[in-house]
Amino acid sequence: MLPRMIDIARAKLPGGVVGEYQIARAKDEKEVMATVPGSSGQTDHSKLSSFLNGLTVADVPDTFKAEFERFYGKNLPAGRLVLDVLEEDDARSFPRKPESGG
């Protein structure tokens, strides 16, 4: 997920193109952590990592569900991990170039 966020940050630099990436608006890590269930607003990277690694399609909030389905499809299994969906999307959007042998 970090590489994706770095790409988004680079795209926001002058001359960059963000495209359809959605970027969360938060003042700091504490504000982000306040949205993680069970975190009590504490900045605990292991809890955030565990939460993100376990996030499934069924967990996508209703307020984002229509947009998520527009980007990634409506027929994804409910138990499918969101990070797997994002990685597949990245692979389709940014195919690896063959390495030159020279």
Q: pLDDT tens digit string along 35-90?
A: 666 666 555 667 777 878 889 999 998 988 999 999 899 999 999 999 999 888 88
Report yes or no on 102 lying in a domain.
Answer: no
Report yes or no on 45 lying in a domain.
Answer: yes
Cβ-contact 89, 81 below 8 angstroms: no
Report the range out of 20-34, 37-51, 88-102 with the highest average pLDDT.
Answer: 88-102
Conformational region of residue 7, where left means phi above 0, alpha means psi within -120 to 50, and beta covers everything else: alpha
DSSP character for 58?
G
Cα torsion angle, 63, 42, 30, 50, sign = negative
State residue 72's pLDDT score.
92
How many separate domains does the chain show?
Answer: 1
Structure tokens belonging to residue 75: 């027929």
pLDDT exceeds cutoff 60 at 33: yes
Report yes or no on 89 lying in a domain.
Answer: yes
Residue 82, class by beta-carbon neighbours within 10 Å (0-12 exposed, 13-18 middle, 19+ buried)? Answer: buried
Instruction: Tell me which residue range forms the domain holding 65.
Output: 27-93
State residue 59's pLDDT score.
92
